[in-house]
A and B are shown apart, each in its own frame.
Chain A
Amino acid sequence: MNKTNAPIVLEAQGITKRFPGVLANDDVSLTLHKGEILALLGENGAGKSTLMNILYGLYHQTEGEIRINGQRVLFHNPRDAIMNGIGMVHQHFQLVPVMSVVENVILGSEVMRGGGRLDIKRAIQEVSELSRHYGLAVDPTAIIEDLPVGIQQRVEIIKALYRKANILILDEPTAVLTPQEAKELFRIMHDLTAQGISIIFITHKLKEVLEVADRIAVMRRGKMVGAVSPENQTESTLAEMMVGRNVILQVVKSDAHPTDQMLRVENLSVKDDRKVTVVNNVSLEVRAGEVLGVAGVQGNGQRELVEALTGMRPVSGGRFFIAGQDATHFTPRQITELQVAHIPEDREKHGLVMPYPIEDNMILNAYFKPPYANGSLVNRAAIRSHAEALVSDFDVRTPSVVTPASSLSGGNKQKVIVAREFSKPVKLLIAAQPTRGIDVGSIEFIHKQIIQQRDRGVAVLLVSAELDEILSLSDRVVVMFEGRIMGTLSMAEATREKLGLLMAGSLD
């Protein structure tokens, strides 16, 4: 698999990028060979995105230079990068959902007939040829929003190839895919490199890196730690490079001892904002002292299920009980008062008030209770000492408790939410994507906290799109697909392959 003999197509040398007060890239160098898959590995905030944004012309480096095919280049904007054969597939697709595949592909570089008229026939032909040539099967006339996520991603790749890209940057491409879809993507990546395309693949998933990369570049705190080849690496050696210390990837936990039923959901149906039923007749139960994992690709009704169970979204059918009490039509406040803790999926939208100081975020849903309130007055002293204690107990890295939540890193933001939710008596914990996009150290910490809660007799409903998280924390797993529960598995039955099939909606 060694492709280091192939010519160098892209070379970044001594790239430094300073933002006011932050050194995002510190003397970073990187080479990419023709036909190579280079994985760029690093935690959130390690500087991967900054480096890629520089390569794509979105940022300008403070120091350093970029060479393409040996020629020094200076990008003022993404258009310059595209002209030099660089294409980028962003984590959040840049597609117009109501337009067809071909319309999306040609958007911005339309094929014209005389008089400014669109030559859609020729465009369709060109897109078909591209998809045939690179093995990217897709119907050019299909409407984007009708296509599965994996196919939409293919359209993004075709879009880049249509602009004659020979260097592709894929930013966290597997985050939205099932394991099977990810396999298909890897096949496509190999097909592309066989045809001379070079790929930079940004990720934080160690398994994938070992599976697909020809070479692995690891970044940590703005610096390039080194480039290694996958043959002599393991997940734990890579994790150590990424974090800078020995990391325990496996969560240590004993067997669960489930007792009383804390959450019972009976034939629950919930509609989304467009009034489409996205949770369809779901039934499940969680007992005190166990973790029930809800696996599934994002967007299969998990968000709406959690919102319904926490009182934030009305229920359109069925019932649910918390600690034996019918809570189907309870408000969020009434549900919190049943000793339910909720780690929301979107921490910046629901979990925190970003301009608020940490201390106010620590009492966001307890501000009306003593000691934080004396009658209808707030007790600032109690709020501050509460926050100071939690900041130290939960290891929130912040200059002070009056620092606005917005200036914390993702991991520390999440720790503020976890601290708040665990600082009160809890019977049921509903955790949605509790570690999405945060650093390994914080993930470790939060996982430990969740298991501790379980061991104290808390019932935990864990919703996560990260299969590894589900597998390492859960005592039982259910899989959601298109709003339905595809099956309940014990941990013995829950293999990666089996879950992957259920996540894709296959029942056998």
Chain B
Amino acid sequence: MTTKTPTEPGQERLKQFLLAAAIPITAVLLAALIGAILLILSGADPIAAYSALIKGSFGSERAFGRTLEKATPLILGGLAVAFAFKGGLFNIGGQGQLLFGAIIAGALGFGISGLPFVIHMPLALLGGALAGALYATISGALKAFTGAHEVITTIMLNFIAINITDFLANGVWKDTSGIVARTPAILETAAIPRLGTNMPLGFFIAAFIAFLVWYLLFRTTLGFEIRTVGLNNHAAHYAGITVARITILTMGISGFLAGMGGAIETLGVVGRFQPGFNVGLGFDGITIALLARTNPLAVIPAAILIGAMQGGASQMQFDAKVSFEIIDVIQALILFFVSAEMIVRYILRIRADQGGSVTLSTGWGQG
């Protein structure tokens, strides 16, 4: 037993924060390093490639605007996954919830006319978010009442969502003026505009939502209940928290966030629902949530990073003659290093009980 000298709470918090931040930053640097080796092996100049990537994502106001636009649905997708993790749930169904959010926002965007912007746009946005929430609640209820693992049910519901939205976009909600299976363009009053010429308003909505999520988790009693269930549902039961209720609610809010991500993409970028346009956004959410170590505020920079890589990829391909698939490889490596945290901890010599190990979903077969 060693006796420790007392430390101030603030000091201790700062130390925990720095240790926690060191892991994802190192993961990104490691991924970039291995990406550079791959670039050299394929005969390209990594310095030229990376500087083109940075130029294409942050080099001009237009490039920066594009980065933020890419980051917007990623913030919400990342928040959805991070929020579920806080409640001990692994929501892999972000993709399905996002698709429902995107198509319902699109339907509300073209189907209702005569409303002013201040009502129409928020209505379409919240409508999409609620559609995602309802869809995710199915998995939450299945988990709470039957014990069905949410990883299985959300994956299966992803396929159902892909096919239902395809069916709608090719059927009742199809734009009959063309042959492409997609919904009609949304009305002007439903569109999320840009600020100035380049800055997407949607990004600021998403960033504000990230703050709200942080506030909900850390400053409300409901957030305390959600985090308690997420970290130890037995102790939550002991403490008088109704675990089933919190599980359903957590899943619902997670789906709300994913659905809003889809709605923002429809209302702010694509302008309509078109099958195939939103693929992958829900899954990028997992990378972002892990990179942010499930902290809602850290989701913003994590999403900007991934958004920048995706936004700058074409510039890199153009300038450095590098296939933009290398971006997918680097993104996969980031996911690899943040998941295989032990490797990074070993490199940084951070012990397992330091830097706040992140508890994700409760494992297989647990209650």
Q: Give A residues with C-beta under 8 Å from B.
A: 20-23, 45, 221, 310, 312, 331-334, 336, 342, 344, 349-356, 360, 364-365, 367-368, 373, 376-378, 380, 384, 397, 399-404, 406-407, 409
CB <8 Å contact, B1 and A45: yes
Contacts of A397 in B (CB 8 A): 3
CB <8 Å contact, A365 and B222: no
Contacts of A22 in B (CB 8 A): 2
Q: Which residue of B lies closest to A22 (CB)?
A: B2
Contacts of A384 in B (CB 8 A): 9
Q: Which residue of A lies closest to B238 (CB)?
A: A350
CB <8 Å contact, A349 and B12: no
Contacts of A401 in B (CB 8 A): 9
CB <8 Å contact, A399 and B219: no
A362 to chain B, nearest CB (A): 12
Mask of B227-250 contacts with A, CB within 8 angstroms, 1/0: 010011011111111100000000
User: Could you tell me the distance between the alpha carbons of A26 and B13 in the complex, rounded to whole angstroms?
Assistant: 32
CB <8 Å contact, A367 and B221: yes
Contacts of A376 in B (CB 8 A): 220-222
B351 at the interface (CB under 8 A from A): yes
CB <8 Å contact, B239 and A377: no
Q: Which residue of A lies closest to B232 (CB)?
A: A353
User: Could you tell me the distance between the alpha carbons of A336 and B2 in the complex, rounded to whole angstroms?
Assistant: 36
Contact of B235 among A353, A368, A380 (CB under 8 A): A353
User: Could you tell me the distance between the alpha carbons of A401 and B12 in the complex, rounded to whole angstroms?
Assistant: 10
B171 at the interface (CB under 8 A from A): no
Contact of A400 among B8, B237, B353 (CB under 8 A): B8
Contact of A344 among B223, B224, B238 (CB under 8 A): B238
User: Could you tell me the distance between the alpha carbons of A342 and B239 in the complex, rounded to whole angstroms?
Assistant: 10
B345 to chain A, nearest CB (A): 12
CB <8 Å contact, A364 and B220: no
Q: Check A378/B220 contact, CB under 8 A, given A355-B359, A356-B231, A399-B4.
A: yes
CB <8 Å contact, B228 and A364: yes
A84 to chain B, nearest CB (A): 31
A345 to chain B, nearest CB (A): 11
Contacts of A365 in B (CB 8 A): 238-240
Q: Which residue of B lies closest to A363 (CB)?
A: B224
Contact of A407 among B220, B222, B353 (CB under 8 A): B353
B5 at the interface (CB under 8 A from A): yes
CB <8 Å contact, B353 and A406: yes
Contact of B240 among A332, A349, A354, A380 (CB under 8 A): A332
CB <8 Å contact, A373 and B221: yes
Contacts of B242 in A (CB 8 A): 331
B356 at the interface (CB under 8 A from A): yes
Mask of B34-62 contacts with A, CB within 8 angstroms, 1/0: 00000000000000000000000000000
6 chain-A/chain-B pairs, Cβ below 8 angstroms = A23-B2, A365-B240, A367-B221, A367-B224, A378-B223, A406-B353
B211 to chain A, nearest CB (A): 15
User: Could you tell me the distance between the alpha carbons of A331 and B228 in the complex, rounded to whole angstroms?
Assistant: 17
18 other A-B residue contacts (CB within 8 Å) besides A332-B238, A367-B239: A22-B2, A23-B2, A45-B1, A221-B1, A331-B240, A332-B240, A333-B240, A349-B232, A350-B235, A350-B237, A353-B236, A355-B356, A356-B228, A365-B238, A376-B220, A400-B7, A400-B8, A407-B353
Q: Check A354/B231 contact, CB under 8 A, given A312-B238, A399-B6, A403-B12.
A: yes
The A-contacting residues of B in range 340-357, CB under 8 angstroms, are 351, 353, 356-357
Contacts of B238 in A (CB 8 A): 310, 312, 332, 342, 344, 350-351, 364-365
Q: Check A378/B12 contact, CB under 8 A, given A350-B238, A409-B1.
A: no
B89 to chain A, nearest CB (A): 17
Contacts of B240 in A (CB 8 A): 331-334, 336, 365
CB <8 Å contact, B219 and A332: no
CB <8 Å contact, A402 and B3: no
Enumerate the 10 nearest inter-chain pairs by beta-carbon distance, A residue then B residue, closest first: A333-B240, A365-B239, A350-B238, A402-B9, A399-B4, A332-B240, A364-B239, A353-B232, A353-B231, A349-B234
Contacts of B228 in A (CB 8 A): 353, 356, 364
A390 to chain B, nearest CB (A): 15
Contacts of B9 in A (CB 8 A): 384, 400-402
Contacts of B356 in A (CB 8 A): 355, 404
Contacts of A360 in B (CB 8 A): 224
B269 to chain A, nearest CB (A): 35
A44 to chain B, nearest CB (A): 10
User: Could you tell me the distance between the alpha carbons of A336 and B240 in the complex, rounded to whole angstroms?
Assistant: 8
User: Could you tell me the distance between the alpha carbons of A378 and B359 in the complex, rounded to whole angstroms?
Assistant: 22
Contacts of A344 in B (CB 8 A): 238
Contacts of A45 in B (CB 8 A): 1
User: Could you tell me the distance between the alpha carbons of A354 and B235 in the complex, rounded to whole angstroms?
Assistant: 10
CB <8 Å contact, B231 and A399: no
CB <8 Å contact, A355 and B4: no
Contacts of A21 in B (CB 8 A): 2
Contacts of B353 in A (CB 8 A): 406-407
A443 to chain B, nearest CB (A): 16
User: Could you tell me the distance between the alpha carbons of A45 and B236 in the complex, rounded to whole angstroms?
Assistant: 28
CB <8 Å contact, A377 and B7: no
Contacts of B3 in A (CB 8 A): 397
A24 to chain B, nearest CB (A): 10
B289 to chain A, nearest CB (A): 17
Q: Which residue of A lies closest to B9 (CB)?
A: A402
The A-contacting residues of B in range 87-140, CB under 8 angstroms, are none
B347 to chain A, nearest CB (A): 16
User: Could you tell me the distance between the alpha carbons of A485 and B218 in the complex, rounded to whole angstroms?
Assistant: 46
Contact of B12 among A331, A333, A377, A399 (CB under 8 A): A399
Contacts of A409 in B (CB 8 A): 1
B213 to chain A, nearest CB (A): 15
Contacts of B231 in A (CB 8 A): 353-356
B346 to chain A, nearest CB (A): 13
B266 to chain A, nearest CB (A): 32
Mask of B252-284 contacts with A, CB within 8 angstroms, 1/0: 000000000000000000000000000000000
User: Could you tell me the distance between the alpha carbons of A238 and B238 in the complex, rounded to whole angstroms?
Assistant: 38
Contacts of A399 in B (CB 8 A): 4-7, 12
User: Could you tell me the distance between the alpha carbons of A336 and B238 in the complex, rounded to whole angstroms?
Assistant: 10
Contacts of A221 in B (CB 8 A): 1
Contacts of B232 in A (CB 8 A): 349, 352-354
User: Could you tell me the distance between the alpha carbons of A203 and B9 in the complex, rounded to whole angstroms?
Assistant: 38
B328 to chain A, nearest CB (A): 33
User: Could you tell me the distance between the alpha carbons of A312 and B240 in the complex, rounded to whole angstroms?
Assistant: 9
